[in-house]
Amino acid sequence: MSADTTTSFRAGRAGFFASPPPAAALEIARDRVSAVAVSESGGSAQITGYAVEPLPPGIIDSVLNGPNVLDQGRLVTVIQSVLSKLGSRTRRMALVLPDTVAKVSLVRFEKVPAKVQDLEQLIRWQVRKAAPFKVEDAQVAWIRGAEVPGGGREFVVTVARRDLVESYERACEAAGLHAGLVDLATFNVVNAVLAAREGLSGDWLLVHLASDYVTLAVVRGPDLVSYRNRALGTESELIDLVHQTAMYHEDRLGGGGFSAVVLVGGSAQGPDVAERLRRAIEERVRVKAEPLDFRTAASLRDRISANPALLDALSAGVGVLVRERVRGASGRVA
């Protein structure tokens, strides 16, 4: 990712950004492009505009180690259409990409080097073994994760091929947009959940469904403690993955059950499918699975109506724009 790229979830403490965060965000998914603009009103965030456009097949293939932007001309056209409908004049925006563009790992060190340069070298050495491409050709970004007993710490590390992320950035530039910040979808759905549900406590599970993948994230306090990304299979395979994650949480992470389960993206599968998934998840983990309503963190103007599909489509974009409202996190861009 480019030098001004940030990859993290939850960015709350001062000093995370070198410059003020953008007021608008653009998300490029395999099946759609969405944008949202947020402004401050009376000390609270308010959504001032949004736009969502479908992406026909054959334009984006969000993979880890292969071409992603298959038809830049058509992608640029859709981005321009979204920007024209957004109603915001800003051309510096956050860019949210599919989770499948990057490999996310939780790397644990029993002893953390005192010098940032030494820590960075150690992180790069660790992820080199798992990355399916040369780390020299990648952007490595990381944030501090959970503390490890005895003075150690986990780090949430993201690795992405630089040329793949730059292909998205070039499409944005051709559409007249500067991506001042680049991040992943699920990280910012987590941001949106934490901002919208400030009283959330204990370990909770996010099930984030995209058109072509599912990501399951377990969050403990301010820290990501489990992250799984898989190709989207059958409904039974998804429920099995939720069950496996719950068992891993209990057996390996010392969890005693989830305090909450948030399901985002299910509405895109249709109301019947979304309801069936919700019930199946609840049966497996015995916790109510709820959709994300981010309007307590970023309200919609009266003239903007909301439905589950729209809330799902805008959740990552809202998350990246309200991330500084989320407390208790720190990060660094590699």
Token look-up 């947009």 returns 177
Tokens representing residue 39 in the block = 């402004």
State yes or no: pLDDT of 303 exceeds 60. Answer: no
- In the predicted structure, residue 327 carries a pLDDT above the cut 70: no
- Model confidence at 230, pLDDT cuts 50, 70, 90, reads very high
Using pLDDT thresholds of 50, 70 and 90, give the confidence band for residue 326.
low
Q: Which pairing describes strands 203-209 and 178-184: parallel, antiparallel, or unpaired? A: unpaired
Lowest-pLDDT range, 75-79, 90-94, 116-120?
Answer: 90-94
> pLDDT per residue over 37-52, tens digit each?
999 877 789 999 999 9
**What is the chain's mean pLDDT, rounded?**
88
Residue 269 phi, psi (nearest 5): -85, -5
Summarize the confidence of residues 280-309 as an average pLDDT. Answer: 88
List of E strands, the chain: 24-28, 32-41, 44-54, 92-97, 103-109, 138-148, 152-161, 178-184, 203-209, 213-220, 223-231, 260-264, 289-291, 298-300
CA–CA separation, 238 and 63 (whole Å): 20
Inform me whether the pLDDT recorded for 14 exceeds 70. no
In the chain, the domains with their CATH numbers are: 197-295 (3.30.420.40)
Mean pLDDT across 213-228 = 96
Most confident option among 14-18, 72-76, 302-306: 72-76
Average pLDDT over residues 116-137: 92
CA-CA distance, 302 to 300, in Å (whole number)? 6
Supply the pLDDT for residue 223: 94
Task: Record the pTM.
Answer: 0.91
| Residue 280 CB contacts under 8 Å (≥ 6 apart), including other chains | 235, 239
Per-residue pLDDT tens over the stretch 141-154: 999 999 988 889 99
Question: Is residue 3's pLDDT more than 70?
Answer: no
User: pLDDT tens across 171-217, in order?
Assistant: 999 999 999 899 999 999 999 999 999 889 999 999 999 999 999 99
**Residue 313 pLDDT class (50, 70, 90 cuts):** very high
